Amino acid sequence: MAKFEKVCAFVIVLFGVLSICQCAGVDDLLNDSTLVRKQLNCVLDKGPCDAIGVSVKASIREVLINNCRNCNQQQAANARRVMEFVRTRYPAEWNEISRKYVGSARG
C-alpha cells in the first residue's frame, strides 16, 4: 500500500470518523479548530487526549496494517476531505503524523 493511502487511513481515525461519524458532516468537525488542534496534539503526543484521541491512538496501527478494509464509501469520502484539510491547513502536523505513524508502521 502506498504511503498516501496509509496516511489517509490514519487521518480517518484521527478525527474519529470511523467510530463516531457515519455522516457526510465531517466539515462540522473540521470547522471546530479547537477540536482539530486537540486531536492533532493528542496524536502527536503534545497534549492530553480525550476519548476520541485515546481511541485513535489505540487503533492507529491496526488501521494502517489493515488499510481501512472496513471503510464504506462515506468514510472513504470523509477521509479524502479530512486528509486534504490537514495537509493544506496543518502541513507541519501532517508531516509529523506521516513520520510518526507511517514511518513506524514500516518497521
Q: pLDDT tens digits, residue range 18-58? A: 444 545 467 887 888 998 899 899 989 999 998 877 876 76
Give the span between the Cα atoms of 23 and 73, in whole angstroms.
Answer: 11
pLDDT over 90, % of the chain: 16
Does residue 5 contact residue 105 with C-beta atoms inside 8 Å? no
What is the domain partition of the chain in residue ranges?
A: 3-100
Helix (H) or strand (E) holding 48: none
Topology of 3-100 in CATH? Antennal chemosensory protein a6 (1.10.2080)
Kindly report the pTM of this predicted structure. 0.68
Give the span between the Cα atoms of 81 and 98, in whole angstroms.
Answer: 17
Helix (H) or strand (E) holding 107: none
Mean pLDDT value across residues 76-100: 81
How does residue 9 score in pLDDT terms, banded at 50, 70 and 90? low
Task: Name the residue among 90, 58, 68, 57 with its Cα closest to residue 18.
Answer: 68
